[in-house]
Amino acid sequence: MTTTPPPRTVFTAEDYRARMARAVDAATRAGLAGVLVAPGPDLAHLTGYTPPADTERLTLLVLTPEREPVLVVPALEAGEIAHATGAAALTLRDWKDGADPYALAAPLLSASGRYAVSDSTWALHLLGLQRARPGTSYAALTDALPMLRAVKDARELELMAAAGAAADATYEEILTVRFAGRKEREVARDLAALLRHFGHSQVDFTIVGSGPNGADPHHEAGDRVIAHGDMVVMDFGGLKDGYGSDTTRTVHVGEPTPAEQHVHDVVREAQRAGVEAVRPGVACQEVDRAAREIIEEAGYGDLFIHRTGHGIGVTTHEPPYMVEGEELPLVPGMCFSVEPGIYLPGRFGVRIEDIVAVTEDGGRRLNTSGRAMALVE
């Protein structure tokens, strides 16, 4: 069996113990009996453990006020857990193939308890728990306890800032490469290589949308050859030391037309307004409204076709969302994107995105590379 090296981490077993205790407290305050966490970003965040694979074999962290944290784990993977920093804070209950892991987990749950369950838990596992403990009920973790991962502590914020700085360095470097005459996917490869060069262990996306492709926010990078006169949207990010980066800049190959410059100016102003709306107590939807108002006043309201932002942390896209209807108030330590855009079908698109951390007195940008439209060759 191959073993994966332990992930580089600045967190100790005590940190993970404290995080798990906070999760139990938050669940209790929310009237829940506990928190159940299957493999995924929540398990990594709470224990430092990333299983070799997320499979049909049940791995489940059970956090309740009644007992110390328990990890139900397949016997053949129990050895892997020793690599996780948080292992010292866990009691293991292993099960062998052929045994019923849900029957093993059931006595850890109260007969009629309501539990928060991690969003990425397989339906197979949740149905197994319901069968083994029919009186229990469940709520999605991010719905029930949205602040659990959303609010970062001081060291997490340092790691977020370092990931942001690496993305900014990537952007500064990409401005020096050749655009005209190369395919989008070649520039995307450059972005990925630079992210890794600046310390990312995982690249999640490298969007390069040139000319009309920039008007499609979901366009990744394709075979289109970038031409002189193109606008180019670049949106890239991934994980560095376990925390996410995600930034977007829109550049122009050669001199822009006044119309192109105007659209870019509007998006830049909208992005500034979104960031300036950030302060503790303000609802998430206010960030969206502040950015959207600028774009609507400029007459492009129907061309801003997505929400203004999303949370980020141990993954690059997560709740809460900066969107109309999200009334969750901002809290110091939250990190999320502010990324308004304008998309002119068949012509070009502009998006500008920074990650912002909520501080006591406003929003702190974790991306500080220039937002003026850079001219490339």
Instruction: Return the number of the residue (54 or 326) whose C-beta is nearest Zn ion.
Output: 326
Q: Cβ of residue 376: shortest distance to Zn ion, in angstroms?
A: 12
Q: Cβ of residue 35: shortest distance to Zn ion, in angstroms?
A: 27
Instruction: Return the number of the residue (85 or 245) whose C-beta is nearest Zn ion.
Output: 245
CA distances, 51 to each of 78, 80, 162, 297 (Å) = 10, 7, 26, 49
Q: Cβ of residue 244: shortest distance to Zn ion, in angstroms?
A: 9
Instruction: Return the number of the residue (229 or 280) whose C-beta is nearest Zn ion.
Output: 229
Instruction: Return the number of the residue (184 or 260) whose C-beta is nearest Zn ion.
Output: 260
Instruction: Return the number of the residue (109 or 322) whose C-beta is nearest Zn ion.
Output: 322
- Three-state DSSP string of the chain: CCCCCCCCCCCCHHHHHHHHHHHHHHHHHCCCCEEEECCCHHHHHHHCCCCCCCCCCCCEEEEECCEEEEEEEEHHHHHHHHHCHHHHHCEEEEECCCCCHHHHHHHHCCCCCEEEECCCCCHHHHHHHHHHCCCCEEEEHHHHCCHHHHECCHHHHHHHHHHHHHHHHHHHHHCCCCCCCCEHHHHHHHHHHHHHHCCCCEEEEEEEEEHHHHHCCCCCCCCCECCCCCEEEEEEEEEECCEECCEEEEEEECCCCHHHHHHHHHHHHHHHHHHHCCCCCCEHHHHHHHHHHHHHHCCCHHHCCCCCEEECCCCCCEEEEECCCCCCECCCCEEEEECCEEEECCCEEEECEEEEEEECCEEEECCCCCCCCCEEC
Q: Are strands 375-376 and 247-253 parallel, antiparallel or unpaired?
A: parallel
How many whole angstroms separate alpha carbon 259 and alpha carbon 268? 14
Instruction: Return the number of the residue (235 or 318) whose C-beta is nearest Zn ion.
Output: 235
Q: Cβ of residue 353: shortest distance to Zn ion, in angstroms?
A: 5
Instruction: Return the number of the residue (39 or 237) whose C-beta is nearest Zn ion.
Output: 237
Q: Per the omega criterion (within 30 degrees of 0), is the bond before 52 cis?
A: no
Q: Cβ of residue 201: shortest distance to Zn ion, in angstroms?
A: 18
Q: Cβ of residue 40: shortest distance to Zn ion, in angstroms?
A: 20
Instruction: Return the number of the residue (14 or 255) whose C-beta is nearest Zn ion.
Output: 255
Q: Cβ of residue 336: shortest distance to Zn ion, in angstroms?
A: 9
User: Which residues contribute to the site for Zn ion (CB under 5 A)?
Assistant: 229, 235, 246, 248, 260, 337, 353
Instruction: Return the number of the residue (50 or 248) whose C-beta is nearest Zn ion.
Output: 248
Q: Cβ of residue 288: shortest distance to Zn ion, in angstroms?
A: 13
Q: Cβ of residue 286: shortest distance to Zn ion, in angstroms?
A: 18
Q: Cβ of residue 339: shortest distance to Zn ion, in angstroms?
A: 5
Torsion angles phi and psi, residue 95, rounded to 5: -135, 145
Neighbours of 52 (CB within 10 A): 14
How many whole angstroms separate alpha carbon 203 and alpha carbon 226? 23
Instruction: Return the number of the residue (156 or 246) whose C-beta is nearest Zn ion.
Output: 246
